[in-house]
Amino acid sequence: MKIALFSDTYVPEINGVATHVAALKEGLESLGHNVLVVTTNQKDQIIYQESGVLRCPSIKLKRIYGYGLSMPLNVRQYQIIKKFNPDVVHIHTEFGIGLFGILVSKMLKRPVIYTLHTIYDDYMYYVMPKPLIKTGKRIFYKYIRSLYKRATIITGPSPKSHEYLINAGLRRNIEIIPNPVDVERFSIQNVSNDDVASIRKIYNIADDAFVGCIVSRIGKEKSIDLLLDYIEKYSKVNKNFRFLIVGDGPAKKDLEKQVKDLKISDIVIFTGKIPNNKLLPYYATCDVFLTASLTDTNSISMLEAMSMGLPVIQREDPINKGQIIENVNGFIFNDEASFIHKMNFVYNMPRDDRLKLKNKVRNSVIISNTKNDMAARVLNVYKYAIDLFYKNTNQKSVEM
């Protein structure tokens, strides 16, 4: 099968969508399919193609985590995709490149699969003043309904995606396909003791310290400020705790001020943005992965941490219930007291019990979150979309 994936962001850019699309491409190719990724070129205004990736001229949007915005139609780009002749068009964005994908699907008469990655209600404050957010949501819901209606099938990584569609006023089923993780790469076996020792030396972390981390873009929607409030209280119970905030973003300065005001500068460490290919020793240095975010659908960095054996201590998120199972891949907290209790539970585990827990955590992602697992599920969606599309349009299916 020939598959065209449309995304405004792609590796080496650092974000969940870029990682997801790259893993999907690799998984589909490993199963014998031909994939073309259509994405942005933020470096210069030229079109070029290499290694199955078509880069299209775009403008870098600094306020939106550096995503690129591309014109939704370009004749030369279209001719390249027409020559590729995809059986399906799979869009991973609602904007420039995604709109281009919609136009390509109409011109080539191909089914569209759309994956909802982002719950946009939580990101409105990036692009408009607070008094206009309510109106902005209403306008965006109308826009997004018109986009969704063009899709043959919609997918998302968690039930939160389905809830967002309902809030936007679209009553359609959504195929839930969890995000992938490269379990072969994200393995503690790929990290040496020297790698870990180097990280501990750089950040002055004692060998016997109990270390937590979050790997994320630093936006207020991630609720890292709540984690810091709880960590300040926990640090009084366990003076041996250190917390790594791995990433960068618009809320970093506010969080740095909060850390200073809470007088926990010796506990909280801001590493800045770390390339994905250098993350392994950071995960390996840590004992737990912490998150208070209620905006994530199925966090890829959380899955990477779990693949490295880190139990997740997560704020209760009823819509994503089931992603974290107590004492299997992590623990749930819903207030300061339960946060401290769950942290101490892991910290006070005998060494053998903690090793057993790490194995259970890793096994929980190996079972269903590999890139080949995701690719196989997505392929079933493609096949169903093709059948549905040609049945509804009374057109003859392309040769596959």
Q: Of the given ranges (147-151, 301-305, 336-340, 391-395), which has the lowest mean pLDDT? A: 391-395
More confident residue, 44 or 25: 25
Whether the Cβ atoms of residue 87 and residue 2 lie closer than 8 Å to each other: yes
Stretch 381-399: mean pLDDT, rounded? Answer: 79
Res 398: pLDDT = 47
**Strand partners of residue 243:** 212, 268
Q: Of the given ranges (93-97, 195-199, 389-393), which has the lowest mean pLDDT? A: 389-393
Residue 399 burial (CB count, 10 A): 6
More confident residue, 292 or 129: 292
In this model, does residue 280 exceed pLDDT 50? yes
Whether the Cβ atoms of residue 112 and residue 94 lie closer than 8 Å to each other: no
CATH of domain 2-180+370-393: 3.40.50.2000
Res 28: pLDDT = 97
In this model, does residue 316 exceed pLDDT 50? yes
For a pLDDT cut of 70, what percent of the chain falls above it? 93
Q: Do domains 2-180+370-393 and 188-366 have the same CATH topology?
A: yes
Stretch 122-145: mean pLDDT, rounded? Answer: 78
Whether the Cβ atoms of residue 179 and residue 157 lie closer than 8 Å to each other: yes
Res 144: pLDDT = 84
* Predicted confidence band of residue 399 (pLDDT cuts 50, 70, 90): very low
25-37 pLDDT, tens digit each: 999 999 999 999 9
Whether the Cβ atoms of residue 18 and residue 104 lie closer than 8 Å to each other: no
Q: Of the given ranges (129-138, 195-204, 310-319), which has the lowest mean pLDDT? A: 129-138
Q: Which two tokens stand for residue 354?
A: 């903690």
Stretch 17-30: mean pLDDT, rounded? Answer: 95
* Predicted confidence band of residue 395 (pLDDT cuts 50, 70, 90): low
Stretch 295-307: mean pLDDT, rounded? Answer: 94
Res 60: pLDDT = 66
Res 189: pLDDT = 96
206-233 pLDDT, tens digit each: 999 999 999 998 999 999 999 999 999 9
In this model, does residue 270 exceed pLDDT 90? yes
323-349 pLDDT, tens digit each: 999 999 999 999 999 999 999 999 999
Cis amide prior to 12 (ω within 30 degrees): yes
Res 125: pLDDT = 66
Q: Which two tokens stand for residue 140?
A: 């965006």
Q: Of the given ranges (182-186, 202-206, 272-276, 389-393), which has the lowest mean pLDDT? A: 389-393
| H-state helical runs in the chain | 16-30, 75-84, 96-108, 133-148, 159-167, 193-202, 224-237, 252-262, 280-285, 300-307, 336-347, 351-366, 371-393
Where do the structural domains in the chain lie, given as residue ranges? 2-180+370-393, 188-366
Res 62: pLDDT = 56
In this model, does residue 389 exceed pLDDT 60? yes
* Predicted confidence band of residue 400 (pLDDT cuts 50, 70, 90): very low
CATH of domain 188-366: 3.40.50.2000
Res 146: pLDDT = 85
pTM to 2 decimal places = 0.88
Per the prediction, the chain carries an average pLDDT of: 91
Q: Which among 55-64, 247-256, 368-377 has the top mean pLDDT?
A: 247-256
Res 68: pLDDT = 55
| Residue at token pair 């904007």 | 95
Can you tell me whether residue 59 is helix, strand or coil?
strand
In this model, does residue 66 exceed pLDDT 60? no
Instruction: Please give the full DSSP string across 242-273, using - where no structure is assigned.
Output: EEEEEB--TTHHHHHHHHHHHT-TTTEEEEE-
164-208 pLDDT, tens digit each: 888 888 888 889 999 999 999 999 999 999 999 999 999 999 999
